[in-house]
Structure 1
Amino acid sequence: MRDDQLKALFDQQAAGYDQQWAGMAPIREALYLLLDALFAGLPEDARILCVGVGTGAELAHLAERFPGWRFTVVDPSGAMLEVCRQRAERGGFLSRCRFHQGYLDTLPAGPGHHGATCFLVSQFLLEAGIRTAFFREIARRLEPGGVLANADLASDTQSPAYATLLRSWLTLMSSAGVQAAMLERARAAYAKDVAILPAQRVAGLIEAGGFEAPVQFFQAGLMHGWFCVRKAEPALG
């Protein structure tokens, strides 16, 4: 799927996105519970980069949990970003956010960030080189020693286990109230529009982008999460 098609898709989904995926909240909350512990050592006035923030679920969580943090919020979908902005206004942390509509490589230079989140974003980059370059863009915007929490769908799609995991994942989404049309769209997307790779391969792409070896800290079905530290002098060329 091209960038413009992906952006248009998320623009269309923005208004009802949170309601559509509300039944999957327990997985999201488990991810955030572990994220709190991983990010707990960051400064009280940390600068956090939220890449592909969507409607701002992780932003709202972190803003409430760490009231001194400031956020750079990036998403190419203007509709998603507007929902996120409204959430920040309702939550009382709008003044702590800098919003940027566009892809990460268009974000103007600024002070380095102490941490970054990137949840279910890089999986849409189908070419390995482009995906590594994306992680390199994140590394460029972190302070040396800054940390990244990344989550993506991952599996060895050639293994017999994948069929079982995919079936259970779609069943989970169905039982969580995801509409049938969305389930069929997801099934089709996983086959051609989402780069579902073995977890070790995803970790390798992150590391090649300028990070120390990622540590997998989370898995729920097909969703995996990795935590990593920016190298002191990553290859950012």
Structure 2
Amino acid sequence: MADNAHAHAHAHAHGNAGARHFLDAFRDPQAIAHYAEGPRRFVPGIDALHRMTALLLAESAPADARVLVLGAGGGLELKVLAEAQPGWTIVGVDPAGPMLDLAAQTLGPLADRVQWVEGYIDDAPAGPFDAATCLLTLHFLDAPERLRTVAEIHRRLKPGAPFVAAHGSFPQDATRSTWLERYAAYAVASGADPQQASQAKAAVAANLSLLDPERDEAILKEAGFADAALFYAAFTWRGWIGHAEF
């Protein structure tokens, strides 16, 4: 990632070569300083996505839930979860230490309710957790590693625990380039520099492990979330809610 524009919502890389390329940006002080600007420019309805995530988890998670957040850097969704549910405690996992520092700053006094883990899913506590999220993260992983990661999340959950996943996911057929153009156009319409938006579009196309929504949903179900259902769709983004089955 060559510019700050692409440090929008694509945080929290998780291991493959393309992911490590993006992770560099989340250790760059300038990119981190402007991180919060990105999600609202590149992800339609990001604030609503966070609110919906909190509501979906609360449908079945208890008032004193312990929540696993994979890809916690920046802290935007953590702040929403912590404010929505005063009794929840959170384990926030991210491979980029500076982004975890930013998350702690974003949460302010609420950071006392978060256990910070610098690393990947294998570094997360065994649980069991009452709920989990993985937002704007799984598109860094190729299909086999994505399946393994979601299965590791599942393994850390209590039976019936909710899991919300949302990331880049859109048709990878002949319409792929059209959706990428819309991705960039939305960013420009939301205030991003046109050149940076174009560079971000090219970086996404070249480096992220993008899958069709149907394949993404199949991975969630194969990993143990058999009831995974789409709840969010916005241009190149999709989000699902599922519950851990054993």
Alpha-carbon deviation of 1:24? 5.1
Match of 1:56 among 70, 75, 83: 75
CA distance in 2, matches of 1:193, 1:163: 14
Q: 2:64 aligns to what?
A: 45
CA distance in 1, matches of 2:136, 2:210: 11
Summarize deviations over 1:134-174 as a string: whole Å, max 9, x none.
101111111111111000111222133x3332222211101
Identity %: 30
CA distance in 2, matches of 1:168, 1:66: 35
1:31 and 1:207, CA in 2 relative to 1: closer, same or farther beyond 3 A? same
| Counterpart contact for 2:74–2:99, Cα < 8 Å | yes
Match of 2:213 among 193, 196, 199: 199
| Counterpart contact for 2:128–2:156, Cα < 8 Å | yes
| 1:104 and 2:121 are equivalent in the alignment | yes
Match of 2:103 among 56, 71, 84: 84
1:132 and 1:147, CA in 2 relative to 1: closer, same or farther beyond 3 A? same
Partner SS state of residue 36, structure 2: helix
| Counterpart contact for 2:41–2:186, Cα < 8 Å | no
CA distance in 2, matches of 1:105, 1:154: 24
Summarize deviations over 1:208-232 as a string: whole Å, max 9, x none.
2222231001111111000001112
Partner SS state of residue 239, structure 2: strand
For structure 1, the 5+ residue unaligned runs are: 233-237
Q: 2:50 aligns to what?
A: 32
- Amino acid of the structure 1 residue aligned with 2:50: Y
Partner SS state of residue 98, structure 1: strand
Summarize deviations over 1:101-139 as a string: whole Å, max 9, x none.
011112243x3111111111110112x111100101111
CA distance in 2, matches of 1:106, 1:34: 27
Question: Root-mean-square deviation (CA), in Å?
Answer: 1.8
Match of 1:147 among 153, 162, 165: 162
Match of 1:129 among 123, 129, 144: 144
| 1:6 and 2:6 are equivalent in the alignment | no
Summarize deviations over 1:176-229 as a string: whole Å, max 9, x none.
122345323322222221122111100111112222231001111111000001
Larger displacement relative to structure 2 (23-32 or 186-195): 23-32
CA distance in 1, matches of 2:56, 2:138: 20
Q: 2:9 aligns to what?
A: none
Task: Calculate the TM-score normalised by the size of structure 2.
Answer: 0.85
| Counterpart contact for 1:21–1:178, Cα < 8 Å | no
| Counterpart contact for 2:184–2:198, Cα < 8 Å | no
Match of 2:173 among 158, 170, 173: 158
Count, aligned residues: 227
Match of 1:190 among 191, 204, 211: 204
CA distance in 1, matches of 2:102, 2:49: 22
Alpha-carbon deviation of 1:87? 1.6
Q: 1:225 aligns to what?
A: 239
Task: Calculate the TM-score normalised by the size of structure 1.
Answer: 0.88
1:107 and 1:65, CA in 2 relative to 1: closer, same or farther beyond 3 A? same
How does 1:70-81 map onto structure 2 within 5 Å?
Answer: 70-81=89-100
Match of 1:209 among 200, 214, 223: 223
Q: 1:235 aligns to what?
A: none
Alpha-carbon deviation of 1:33? 3.2
- Amino acid of the structure 1 residue aligned with 2:165: N
For structure 2, the 5+ residue unaligned runs are: 1-16
| Counterpart contact for 1:125–1:131, Cα < 8 Å | yes
CA distance in 2, matches of 1:187, 1:180: 10
